[in-house]
């Protein structure tokens, strides 16, 4: 009897592990890589394998001591395990995935190029803004681009506010202000997000405008692949998660 129960438990555990692995690899590649890197970085800090002092953005250490990794690790750490970390990871996973499965579906190279553009510009602004960790600004940039490309979706914030998607970054900035946090990070993310949105979606469609952000062919060769026929994307308007979710309502 004990052997049969142990066997059933082992089979159930194996089934859960297989299901988790299957779901994990259903996450699009860029979202999967970035979210995993953020979680593993936080876990490494929590387990004291590394220190936040080895990760934060410090131009002097980057230039004079060649600690180049800080250009990347400053985007991967959102603080110790707690509300702030969970909040940021949920937003990162949600809006990064919806972008990758929505307007960037089948255009992984273009999505990676947006990451590079956002990361480089945020880093340049970070030289003057005295910000130690840049990941939150990067998340706000992703949210801004998603919100501008889905202007008709209505949002609900903790059951208190209903608004159109383009107001989402500003609502998040107001939430940060209410919590007593600096809004410099939010303004940085909004500014860089608007720069990308304007250069990619607005300026090319203006009279005399043209496309200025061109994805390098090297990125296309590296990342653009035929789509997996078994791939199951999330539905942007139906996905629900956390306290903030699109209602899926549209208005003409």
User: Cα separation of 143 and 230, whole Å?
Assistant: 27
User: Cα separation of 252 and 240, whole Å?
Assistant: 23
pLDDT one-digit tens code per residue, 24-40: 888 999 999 999 999 99
- pLDDT of the residue at 182: 83
- pLDDT of the residue at 155: 87
User: Cα separation of 106 and 231, whole Å?
Assistant: 11
Where does 25-205+212-217 sit in CATH, by number? 1.20.1540.10
CA dihedral 196, 202, 206, 212 (to 10 degrees): 20
pTM for the model: 0.82
Among 78-82, 124-128, 242-246, which stretch is predicted with the lowest mean pLDDT?
Answer: 242-246
- pLDDT of the residue at 234: 53
Judged against a pLDDT cut of 90, whether residue 120 lies above it is answered with: yes
Q: Which two tokens stand for residue 14?
A: 């194996």
The residue among 89, 183, 209 whose CA lies nearest residue 139 is: 89
- CA–CA–CA angle 188, 189, 190 (5° rounding): 90
Judged against a pLDDT cut of 60, whether residue 103 lies above it is answered with: yes
Judged against a pLDDT cut of 90, whether residue 49 lies above it is answered with: yes
User: Cα separation of 219 and 149, whole Å?
Assistant: 23
Radius of gyration of the chain (CA): 20
pLDDT band at 104 (very low <50, low <70, confident <90, very high): very high
At 246, give phi and psi (nearest 5°).
Answer: -75, 140
The residue among 144, 141, 145 whose CA lies nearest residue 104 is: 145
């Amino acid at each position: 009897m004990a052997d049969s129960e142990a066997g059933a438990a082992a089979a159930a555990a194996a089934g859960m592990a297989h299901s988790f692995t299957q779901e994990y690899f259903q996450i699009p590649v860029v979202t999967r890589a970035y979210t995993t890197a953020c979680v593993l970085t936080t876990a490494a800090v929590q387990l004291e394998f590394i220190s936040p002092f080895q990760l934060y953005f410090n131009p002097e250490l980057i230039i004079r001591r060649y600690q180049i990794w800080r250009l990347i690790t400053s985007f991967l750490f959102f603080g110790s395990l707690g509300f702030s970390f969970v909040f940021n990871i949920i937003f990162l996973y949600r809006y990064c995935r919806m972008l990758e499965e929505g307007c960037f579906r089948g255009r992984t190279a273009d999505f990676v190029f947006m990451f590079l553009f956002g990361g480089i510009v945020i880093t340049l602004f970070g030289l003057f803004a005295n910000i130690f960790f840049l990941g939150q600004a990067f998340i706000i940039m992703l949210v801004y681009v998603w919100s501008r490309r889905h202007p008709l979706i209505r949002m609900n914030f903790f059951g208190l506010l209903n608004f159109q998607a383009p107001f989402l970054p500003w609502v998040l900035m107001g939430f940060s202000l209410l919590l007593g946090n600096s809004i410099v990070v939010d303004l940085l993310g909004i500014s860089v997000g608007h720069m990308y949105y304007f250069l990619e979606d607005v300026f090319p469609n203006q009279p005399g405008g043209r496309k200025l952000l061109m994805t390098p062919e090297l990125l296309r060769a590296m990342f653009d692949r035929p789509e997996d026929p078994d791939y199951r994307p999330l539905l942007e308007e139906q996905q629900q998660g956390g306290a903030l979710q699109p209602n899926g309502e549209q208005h003409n």
